[in-house]
Chain A
């Protein structure tokens, strides 16, 4: 096995990150030209690309673990360089997206059966994942910005996919928010580059050597960057697009909330704070506290609004607003334990949220259930889906041994370590209570209330409660979320990996 991997890494060479980006990009381009009726060809291409990408990521992971350096450089203009580079943080995000992409592809194939414009959908779907892994593997801010914009372009058609007036309006709103954000990020990056030179990501940051007279400019740039990234990360008050974007098909929502867009924003904030500014230098500048306050406010605000949503996907959307800010909160608290909590939540939130969206999609596709008030007794009709949903929801609340508990535990410890327990702890407690308040009634309805008639039953229960391609993805991701929590202390768990990253961020 080791020998085979050696041969593989040798053959793929240093350009492996490039192949990983291109594996889905090229297939996406091909899929655009596949006839609408060639269902089998399209499915094969989709799955093949997803599996190949996952395998390549596996090889990359193996190589990085064994200390190999992967770097692809391409000069696009004087003093401007594209750089793909695999470090520990990017591996965390790349692995997450490659894994969840495979699962989501299976789900999407099942979900979109017989609907129109599938070639268009899967083409952009693949481009979207290429943008995400490109963003994860970006080795400097210039590259990051390019993939960040590309991600916006690739997701716009997915949000608009249904073509209804509502969908197009939501897509327009999405675009207005994200392009404005992207432009501000671009301005900030160019500005920073004119002060600090090449903006290669370095663990521990690169700006702390700059003279003191640049500090006020650096604060403004930080603000611009956080606004630019915060739009995608749905920081309040920049979150307006997210609940509206729920009109997109369920697999798109799942991808948007768990891996691609929202996570790209959060990942960007992690990158900027740790690998550009350096968390200790950011603390010196005094920008961490405001960031933490915004994150804390977002956490409570998102949870509170989620409480009042009857539409299931909207409730999940506001829950995302809240949950993603845990990552930002962990980033904004100075100290290794909080860092671990924030970074590991990048993975945990992804696993849990994608499960919830898959389950919500299953309810809608199978029984026509879109609202919480329609969910009475659904647990008996769809036990596996509801079980997955339950695990995801419990994880979101932070009940051990689910993955969400680990994140919150480390955030709490980190707050204690940094001496900010006084304001972080109430936020964590309030948010957990609110999470419980908006998730537990759903679980109660689903498991314990008697069933009414279903609004619109499309798929009859046969061997399984719904179509197999819809059923297994949430079951798998829920199991992963459970395993990530249960075996958090084993090697190669997300937690271990987050600790490895953290150890390198503090100089």
Chain B
């Protein structure tokens, strides 16, 4: 088969699944997990192709670059597609049993697969307008999925999520309109080549950053995230926290390092980094004070995204090999968070189902009755704190290393404070597993719910912590110039 086809398949398989699941509602669940499994297979294939044959570029429908839909897969895009497909697969297997005997079941699968489509299309988009389309698709499917929580709080959170998402996309759309007016193209490579350092470029950059910061819940624009992520059904929460905010982060990375590279000064990078630092401190502190497990997990996402942004000021001043290592470490941190946070939300979903609530103070009996689920929470906690072995540990290692190498020691302080707070919120939770409350009757949990959570948690800890060396060589496959 044509090698470039792998780029198309990772997008069209979930889309096909979404359509089929709409038509044959009674088989929706089967269609859902089969198409996610196939997509994950294609994602591996895509990574293999990129690794072997280099960057894949594709103009759909034979339209030349600049007119039609163009797809672009380099190492980074392929890694993100694989991350997203694996998390979606884990959540799909979990969701089969989670939604059993519920009315939302039929609504869930088409929207869910649409979300997966939007994610993969976004990671592979080759021009700025495609990105806009996929962003809208993503925002709409994500807020519709949030509304499946069906409670009043969920509906309210979903509506707010939708409005915030639209606002973010609008800012982004304004930016690309400016760029189109100035350069007559929306292809990322062409813009990167033509970009001038002038007020228009600045305006476009700042608008885009503002829009995407809103979407990735960067402090202080994070207000919408905790209610949305904590009120959605478990698999949806997992995908929202692990992937959807990560998609916005991915776009920031692409725009920052590739398209707008001439405009991104260290000063701006430091401003972003400072926001990240505040996100780390505020998010971790709020997680520590959260009464409910899912709220804790949501606030922890705010903090973890802060760490990701803290890489920017250091990447701005490092050069050569050290910079590549740090960039890889940032991607590794993002992957580690994706797997760990999805595992945590899935485990929280199990606790919530069997205890009927997720109030941390009262979870003692349930955590003792569900040792495997508790173990998943512990593993995910290790990855969130950044203890070894985990991808986050390596990410933090390089972050510290870069801070020392460049003499920017203040990031070290933020990292230490953030890690201590994270330890506190993780072990406040785990401490209850040892309490003396009478253990509740041992519930029967479907293996299809615990196993995917466990697999994701193991991937975040032992998988990425000990076996992530190839990541850096995968990421070395980038195009010559910009490649969005």
Contacts and interface: CB of A to CB of B under 8 A. Distances in A.
Interface of A: 32, 74-80, 82, 120, 145-146, 149-150, 153, 156-157, 160-161, 163-165, 167-168, 171-172, 175-176, 179-180, 183-184, 186-187, 190-191, 193-195
Contacts of A179: 420, 423
Contact of A76 (B324, B404, B434, B466): B466
Interface in B390-449: 393-394, 397-398, 400-401, 404-405, 412, 416, 419-420, 423-424, 427, 431, 434-436
Contact of B329 (A74, A77, A82, A191): A77
B427 A193 contact: no
B427 A180 contact: no
> Which of A75, A171, A184, A190 has its CB near the most chain B CB atoms (within 10 A)?
A190
B469 interface: yes
B464 to A, nearest CB: 9
Contacts of B436: 163-165
A251 B86 CA distance: 43
A190 B389 contact: no
Contact of A190 (B328, B388, B397, B467): B397
B371 interface: yes
7 contacts: A32-B375, A78-B321, A80-B397, A153-B382, A172-B431, A175-B423, A187-B412
A47 B385 CA distance: 34
Contacts of B427: 156, 172, 175
**10 closest A-B pairs (Cβ-Cβ)?**
A146-B388, A160-B434, A190-B400, A194-B404, A163-B436, A163-B434, A179-B423, A78-B325, A191-B404, A77-B394
Nearest to B437: A163
B388 A149 contact: yes
A437 B378 CA distance: 45
B465 A194 contact: no
A504 B375 CA distance: 44
A157 B412 contact: no
A31 B469 CA distance: 31
Contact of B389 (A32, A146, A187): A146
Nearest to A156: B427
Contacts of A149: 387-388
Given A77-B332, A190-B404, 5 more contacts: A77-B469, A78-B321, A82-B466, A167-B434, A191-B404
Given A145-B388, A146-B389, A153-B387, A183 B431 contact: no
B416 A74 contact: no
Contacts of A80: 394, 397
A183 B419 contact: yes
A171 B431 contact: yes
In terms of DSSP, what is the predominant structure of the interface of chain A? helix
A178 B390 CA distance: 19
B467 to A, nearest CB: 8
A183 B404 contact: no
Contacts of A76: 389, 394, 465-469
Contacts of A165: 436
A187 B400 contact: yes
A179 B371 CA distance: 24
Chain B's interface size range is: 35 or more
Contacts of A180: 420
Contacts of A187: 400, 412, 416
Contacts of A32: 371, 375
B472 interface: yes
> Which of B324, B387, B405 has its CB near the most chain A CB atoms (within 10 A)?
B387
B468 A77 contact: yes
B261 to A, nearest CB: 23
A479 B311 CA distance: 57
Contacts of A161: 434
Contacts of B404: 190-191, 194-195
A37 B412 CA distance: 48
A78 B328 contact: yes
Interface in B325-379: 325, 328-329, 332, 371, 375
B371 A74 contact: no
Given A175-B427, A194-B405, A183 B472 contact: no
Contacts of A160: 431, 434
Contacts of B394: 76-77, 80
Given A76-B466, A157-B434, A180-B420, A193 B401 contact: yes
Contacts of A150: 387-388
Contacts of B469: 75-78
A78 B423 CA distance: 27
Contacts of A164: 436
B333 to A, nearest CB: 12
Contacts of A184: 416
B329 A190 contact: no
A195 to B, nearest CB: 8
Contacts of A191: 400, 404
A168 B328 contact: no
> Which of A77, A145, A164, A193 has its CB near the most chain B CB atoms (within 10 A)?
A77
B416 A183 contact: yes
B397 A120 contact: no
A407 B387 CA distance: 36
Contacts of A171: 431, 434
Nearest to B389: A146
Contacts of A82: 466
A32 B376 CA distance: 14
A171 B420 CA distance: 16
Contacts of B328: 77-78
Contact of A194 (B329, B382, B393, B401): B401
Nearest to A217: B404
Contacts of B419: 183
Contact of A183 (B371, B375, B420, B466): B420
A160 B468 CA distance: 33
Given A150-B388, A183-B416, A191-B404, A168 B435 contact: yes
B472 A78 contact: yes
B400 A120 contact: no
Nearest to A152: B387
